[in-house]
Chains A and B, each alone.
Chain A
Amino acid sequence: MGGAAQAKLILILLILPPVLWARPVVAQADPSGNWTPRFDEDWEERIPGPEIGDYLGLPINAAARLRADSWDATLIELPENQCRAHGSDYGWRGPSALHIWQEVDRATQKVIAYHTHLSAYGAEQTIWMDGRPHPPDYAAHTWAGFSTGEWDGNTLVITTTHLKENWIRRNGIPRSDLATARVHVLRHGDYLTVAVIVYDPVYLTEPFIRTTDFVFSPQQQMAPWPCEVVDEVDRPAGQVPSHLIAANPFLDEFPANYGIPPEAARGGADTMYPEYKLKMADMKLLPRPAKKVTNR
């Protein structure tokens, strides 16, 4: 090592410790602020909404598949379902404006909780950071569930229990009320990545992992979401729209329109992995219509 190099090394060694000491002991990247979703990410699923019968890439079991096959979108028209919020594990998927803020204990200045507000349905979630236990199993479940958080390096890791039943995909694929969610919130500068891992002993054969990205938007205005129930369709009280078993006429539209083997469209853990494409090569396709057909 020459003299110049030695001098550089000494300089680095002199400068480095103060720089390191200036960083927090735990590098927590506070996610507080206003965030706009990058909803061009998975656009088709999020804005027009998922296609009927598209279960690709979902580690679902046969029970979940039949729930979705039987699901009739008019169910959402029922008065008791019109203002139903998304579960907090699905809500990130939006596309909703997101606001995150801290709740700080005045005396200790410690963060007691993070709160989130999503523009869709005005859904809010509290993430307790004070180490409190989760409620007993006989306590009520909510759309938001009960969440606690802890820092793993600069990642906020949220554990959510006590969720009401909700979606895995908004085409009838259910997530049960016995599921738990583990959410990793990573802030990297002006970007926020939220990785949601859903564990559902009822409808999933493997954990389901999905990431959603946001961009920091300090100028963002949050719109209110008033929701009033109206009678959209005159139907007898107690009627529940659904398709009888093996009687949903729309399930072939998605695989036909996109040239995907119907077998693959049925989803399952295999369909999450790249090597599944090799299996698809031997699968039968439906005749592809000249023009996309959709009755959703």
Chain B
Amino acid sequence: MTPAGRHCPRTRQTRWGPGILPAMLSVGLVGAVSLTCAQQNPSSTPDYSKAEVHILPVQGNIYMLVGAGGNITVQAGNDGVLLVDTGVAPMSDKVLAAVRSISEKPIRYIINTHLHPDHTGGNEAIAKAGSTIAGGNVVGDIGASAGNQAAVIAFQAVLDRMSAPTGQQAPTPEHAWPTETYTTPVRKMFFDNEGIEIIHIPAAHTDGDSMVFFRRSDVISTGDIFVTNRYPLIDLERGGNIQGVIAGLNKIIEIAIPADEQEGGTLVIPGHGRLCDIADVVFYQEMVTIIRDRVQDMIKKGMTLEQVKQAKPTRDYDPRYGATSGIWTTDMFVEAVYKSLASKP
């Protein structure tokens, strides 16, 4: 989220219903996209014409695309291209151009880390530009058109929330939906000469979060369970919970192996912000855990939500991660932590 994004009013209503998603659509939850309020107003439709997609080689087969909303992970090799997330819809052409500058091979797979439109907005256009290798039971189940686009993989809850029962209006177009879902703790696949683990983290940023671990390249793409530019956004209305966020951060620390001096080794691509490694995740995990523990202690003492907000349990981290306006303020974070902990299942 840019400072510009933080201070721009939101006006556009969407079919996503209440909560943070309308705000994400109206300001694009633009991550590193450099847009000004003047560019966004008066229509509140972001002007993406000046936004750029930057390519950062990470290691092994992996690249990070920055500037199209949420960070996009690109795996490129002989088998083709695999993307983790697709950014906001208006940036699709620029994302495709960036991908093409990395590899001319077809885009075979898209993995969505969660449902939010700054990570799935480009699904339709980018999937359409790719193609799945289809045959056998895949064609048998779906039909001959199965190979006409890249496969879009996500946890089942992502499809559930992006689609709607027959006869009802879905919040997103059908062609943006995941085409393959999973419901197990881990889905494994092998592509571009490396094993890939798609790891579901229950009830974290949302209820449909996936992290993607590229085993040979030694890179983890985390989605919005880990970001570097704000407190973790917990979408309570869509199944998010602070405990799940912490579980996800702990999972990254469990998987990642640092090189000398506890840095490097496994590299971590966050949902928003800069390229990281385990040490960066540890700092963030410590911050989130300490704040969770403080709020938990305040709840134990019988403090109300308002009293907890007044106590400012995040104030030592606010100069780094806090916000007083925009789609995810410090108050909203504290409220989400409180509600996560106060409503035990």
Contacts and interface: CB of A to CB of B under 8 A. Distances in A.
Contacts of A178: 320
Contacts of A239: 289
Contacts, number: 107
A122 interface: yes
A34 to B, nearest CB: 21
B257 to A, nearest CB: 10
B273 A80 contact: no
Interface stretch (A138-146, A184-192, A254-262, A287-295): A138-146
A294 B247 CA distance: 36
B246 A140 contact: no
Contacts of B315: 62-63, 66
Interface residues of B, number: 42
Interface stretch (B79-87, B199-207, B274-282, B333-341): B274-282
A122 B278 CA distance: 19
B263 A138 contact: no
B54 interface: yes
Interface string B41-75: 00000000000001010000000101000000000
A140 B279 CA distance: 11
Interface residues of A, number: 43
A240 B290 CA distance: 7
A122 B250 CA distance: 28
B293 interface: yes
Contact of B278 (A80, A176, A201, A245): A80
B77 interface: no
Interface in B279-298: 279-280, 282-283, 285-286, 289-290, 293-294, 297
Interface of A: 61-67, 70, 75, 78, 80-85, 121-123, 136-143, 164-165, 176-178, 201-203, 227, 237-240, 242, 244-245
23 contacts: A61-B319, A63-B318, A66-B316, A75-B286, A78-B282, A82-B262, A83-B258, A84-B279, A85-B262, A136-B54, A136-B56, A138-B32, A138-B273, A140-B277, A141-B280, A142-B263, A176-B320, A177-B280, A227-B260, A238-B285, A240-B290, A242-B290, A244-B297
